[in-house]
Amino acid sequence: MTMMAWWVLLVFVGALLALARWQGKADRIFGLVLMMLYLPGAISSEALLASAANNGLITLVLLICTAFVLEKTLLLQRAAAWMLALDFERCWWRVVLSSIVSSALLNNTAIVSILLGPLRSVTHHPARRLILPMTYAVSMGGMLTLVGTSTNLIVNSMMIEAELPGFHLTDFFPVGVSVAIVGIIWLWWRRDQLPATPLNAESVEHYLVEGRIESDSPLIGKTIAQAGLRHLQRLFLVEIVRSGEKICPVPPHAQLEVADRLLFSGDPASIGLLARFKGLASYAQRQGLNADELTEVLILPDSPLCGLRLKESDFRAKFDAAVVAIRRNGEALSGVIGEQILCGGDFLVLATGKDFLGRANLTKNFLIIRGAKPAATIKPLTEWLMIGGFVLAITLSALGWVSLFKSMVCYLSILLLSGTLTLNELRRRLPLGLWLIVMSALALAKAMETSGLMGVVTDLVKVHLEGASPHWALVGMLVATWLVTEIITNNATAAMMIPLALALAQGLGVSPLPFAMAVAFGASCSFVNPYAYQTNLMALNAGEYRLVDFLRLGLPLALLYLAVVAAFVPLFFPFLPG
């Protein structure tokens, strides 16, 4: 191998290791990959620009931008109300089937975001037996069409970049519907395996609530017992932070001092108890907001807030809200609220200002669980025109009358010209992180080809797998992709594994289509690790599940999923097409 091929191999392996270590920073890692390829000349400027303007990549961006408009409609909210007004068995079937059908065309995260609220608030059904099946159904439904999940479109982009024929809209359907049928049967059979206990029975005990001793407080100099802070109803004093030092556990004889931060664990609805103590100010009060109206939200896994300290996030200015309490998957958090590093899936209880519901960035950052929710601002006629326009654009593409790229460009143009979608909204919803990931992956694949690394891999396959069954090679690629997607994100997995799949197919002298399908389906087979896929993380926190719940229900589902894909892909995508 040439020195450049060794360098590209080093970048590839380093990227995989970095993605496994820093799963939530895929865009930064791929940005670094791009720089490490471009600076030494592993990829030319022309190839870099071609990757940025890849037809499949731009189609993916257009779909995400147009799907945002559908999130503004009340379609899924109405569907949720229709699902839940039934006995449990019929409700279960409606939730699962509706999730599968809707996710074939709509953004998976948006569907889960919209349905989680109604499912969490249901009282006449065990919500925990609905939330995780709904999440799994959304993942399976995304594999029914090319546009069902960004993973499929990434694989399609890589195929186009390799000068291979891309997929049509319905190419995924035969295998996808087979997977969905088997998956639904499994989920229905094991529906009683999930906990039936009501939500919020214990989770409120894990909220972290903060109060600070002000300079004029009469509590200064008093002990915890004298101040009456020892036995507050539904709030337990767990630690005091004084000049950066923690006092934990807190003895009843500890004396209070100016600027002490008192950290309570318990129910944020009881924060009004702290207001009885003069000079004890909550975090929200110090931000200029009173906790009269509380709103509970869940931070979305792809929110720009993830990874930021609360005090550095400019939270009040961005949302006209202040954090009253924070909870993370039942963990007992420690330290002052302002120093907490925000993570996807965190629950926040907010004290909101008058402009909170008017902020356009709410849906990009939060799923509102309880409290104030934005009112619908779209007229019914406009709403149906938006939905009808999207369905028409997809249908024209499915019939082969126009390309998906052209139909999405026309639909987006109509939305902008009619004022249904504004340029500011479009700018805020541009998936720049995903665009960088896919562009860098396309550049990496090109560098592997031009440096000769792809040829080396192909030759190794020819030498060591000569005469081997392509079916077993397909199974190996499918399982390998599944294992990688449980460690890193699904989009990153698809981007990293497709060059290897194409090299494997070339080395075996067979069609690349079944191997590309194996990567697409394997990358979306994320049912075991709740932290590997953003909708899983949302379900973990919103449904208050344990890791064992994912293992019991998700691991057998993943194995069934892989078995069906391994059996059906060669039937619909032969290794040697006639």
pLDDT at position 478 is 93
Tokens (6 digits) for 238: 């767990």
Amino acid, single-letter form, for residue 251: P
What 3-state class would DSSP assign to 210? strand
- Round to whole Å and give the CA distance between 170 and 356: 41
pLDDT at position 199 is 63
pLDDT in tens, the chain (578 residues): 788 888 888 988 888 888 877 766 778 888 898 898 888 888 888 888 888 888 778 888 888 777 767 766 666 667 767 777 678 888 889 889 989 998 888 778 778 877 877 787 777 788 888 889 999 999 999 999 988 888 898 898 888 888 888 888 889 999 999 999 999 999 999 888 888 776 654 444 567 888 888 888 888 888 888 888 876 767 778 888 888 888 888 888 888 888 888 888 777 766 667 777 888 887 777 766 665 667 888 888 778 888 888 888 888 888 888 888 888 775 667 777 888 888 887 888 888 877 887 777 777 788 777 765 555 556 677 777 888 888 888 888 878 788 888 888 888 888 888 877 778 777 777 778 878 888 888 888 888 878 887 777 777 776 666 667 889 889 999 999 998 888 887 888 888 888 889 888 888 888 999 999 999 999 999 898 887 777 888 888 777 788 888 999 999 999 999 999 999 999 999 988 65
pLDDT at position 182 is 96
CATH superfamily membership of 203-370: Regulator of K+ conductance, C-terminal domain (3.30.70.1450)
Residue with structure tokens 């396309």?
442
Is-contact 441 496, C-beta < 8 A?
yes
Alpha carbons within 13 angstroms on the beta-carbon side of residue 374 total 22
Which DSSP helix (H) or strand (E) runs through 418?
helix 404-418
pLDDT at position 74 is 66
CB neighbour list of residue 171: distance below 8 Å, 6 or more residues apart: 146
Tokens (6 digits) for 316: 């009040």
pLDDT at position 122 is 74
Is-contact 80 119, C-beta < 8 A?
yes
Class of residue 135 by CB neighbours under 10 A (exposed 0-12, middle 13-18, buried 19+): buried
Class of residue 57 by CB neighbours under 10 A (exposed 0-12, middle 13-18, buried 19+): buried
pLDDT at position 537 is 81
Q: Which of 180, 188, 119, 198 is nearest to 539 (CA)?
A: 119
Amino acid, single-letter form, for residue 148: G
pLDDT at position 378 is 62
pLDDT at position 518 is 94
Which DSSP helix (H) or strand (E) runs through 460?
helix 453-464
Is-contact 468 507, C-beta < 8 A?
no
Alpha carbons within 13 angstroms on the beta-carbon side of residue 368 total 17
